[in-house]
A = this chain, B = another copy of it.
Amino acid sequence: MEKTKVGIIGLGTVGTGVAQLLLDHGDRTARHAGRVLWLEKAVVRDLKKHRDCDLPQGILTDNVDEVINDPEIQVVAQLIGGIEPARTIMLRLLKAGKDVVTANKALLAEHGAEIFDAARELGRSVAFEASVAGGIPIIANIGQCLSANQVSSLHGILNGTSNFILSRMQEGDDYAAAVAEAQRLGYAEADPTMDVDGTDAAQKLSILAHLAFGARAHWKDIPCTGIDTLDVTDVEYAGEMGYKIKLLAVAELVDGGLELHVSPTLLKAGSPMAEVSGPFNAVRVDADAVGRLMFYGPGAGQMPTASAVVADMIDTAVGRTKLTFQTLELWSNRPARVSAADYANARGRFYLRVDVEDHPGVLAQITKALGDQEISISSVLQHEATTPGDDIPLVVMTHATTEGAAAKACEAIASLKCVSGAPVRMWVRD
């Protein structure tokens, strides 16, 4: 049987899983690839660190040049996180004639153009299934399986950490306790900022928007709110009204172009996306020929992510990746096929929570601020104060309006004397 020599750069969580699959299940990869994927080198920073895999002699090295300069290594999984040295190593691998597989969404979202241009110029390929939605093969499904379709919208729960935290809050934890539990179980990093502030989801959404719509949106230009502004009372109020809160990444073709945003969103309980709980991800795709598809699975974790990386390595070794890569529109030098729609024009319903003083006339002032923006109210929820004189939360669900109008109304509400703090605002979807 033919042999394709492969390398791994980075033996952390994901890299170790990839090494395990290649070493312990070589028969399986050989059967599916029609060739042996032979692990030749694995590069780490610290040779002394314990690794959870039995590496044969001579594989481990702390010198990346041993991979870059080995002309026999054809496919390399680049599994260092962050921007540098990942970016430089990526470019050096491509220049050295290697096809690359990566799970690093931050790098692609930041330097995708440079990396994809280099690969195209050099006749190489970059596979990145693991960079979005972990074990769910969403890149292959959109990039290959839906090629007869025009996608009209993508709704994704793309950050498993946030989703886990929201699920815990659903069960009564406050935000801090939920974060601590996520850290204890390994779902959140010591510093979970990029997960909870929406950055990670926005980076993944930008990759999907490139792929599905031929958009050229940089993730920093995607309006993005995280779950770090939420309070457990919001989860409770949402529940009382029959909704669950999810951090939703949305890309939707509308008249004005492509609407993109990441926002905590109230989804009707019982709807498929609302019921995705724990560290899972889901992507709902609407497309003109196929209609609605939904994909559900683990959005991160060692073996789910390794599953996606090794599938990419097989596709690359077999030659499929190269054929797909040639027509992918990701960061291509062609002009964008769609421009970003003005977020202020995005239409939807909103949930607003305002902490107000408990005296007569307050509701009238809030209603007026909304009315000034021509926002009509669908329902109001306010419980009796437990301690008289305390501020109490007032929850308003609006009818359909625009994001811009809702934002202006919230500004006006925030400046009212009877209101303390900024209103919490979320999208509401059925």
Contacts and interface: CB of A to CB of B under 8 A. Distances in A.
A29 B147 contact: yes
Given A32-B147, A275-B275, A290-B304, 7 more contacts: A135-B291, A137-B141, A140-B144, A140-B145, A148-B314, A272-B275, A287-B307
Interface string A192-221: 000000000000000000000000000000
A320 to B, nearest CB: 5
Contacts of A17: 289
Interface in A83-140: 129, 135-137, 140
Interface string A309-352: 11100110011100110110100000000000000000000000
Nearest to A326: B34
Contact of A296 (B140, B272, B318): B272
Given A145-B140, A147-B29, A150-B28, A307 B320 contact: no
Nearest to A17: B289
B292 A297 contact: yes
B320 A323 contact: yes
Given A297-B294, A327-B33, A146 B315 contact: no
A163 to B, nearest CB: 15
A148, A150, A287, A298: residue with the most chain B Cβ atoms closer than 10 Å: A148
A43 B33 CA distance: 36
Contacts of A129: 145
A303 B289 CA distance: 5
A144, A289, A303, A304: residue with the most chain B Cβ atoms closer than 10 Å: A289
Interface residues of A, number: 56
Nearest to A306: B289
Interface in A28-67: 28-29, 31-34
A311 B143 CA distance: 10
Given A141-B141, A148-B29, A307 B290 contact: yes
Rank and list the top 7 A-B pairs by shortest CB-CB distance, nearest first.
Answer: A148-B310, A137-B145, A32-B147, A289-B307, A293-B297, A290-B307, A135-B290
A297 B291 contact: yes
Given A141-B137, A147-B29, A293 B292 contact: no
Contact of A323 (B28, B318, B327): B318
Nearest to A337: B31
A290 B297 contact: yes
A417 interface: no
A353 B33 CA distance: 49
A418 B165 CA distance: 56
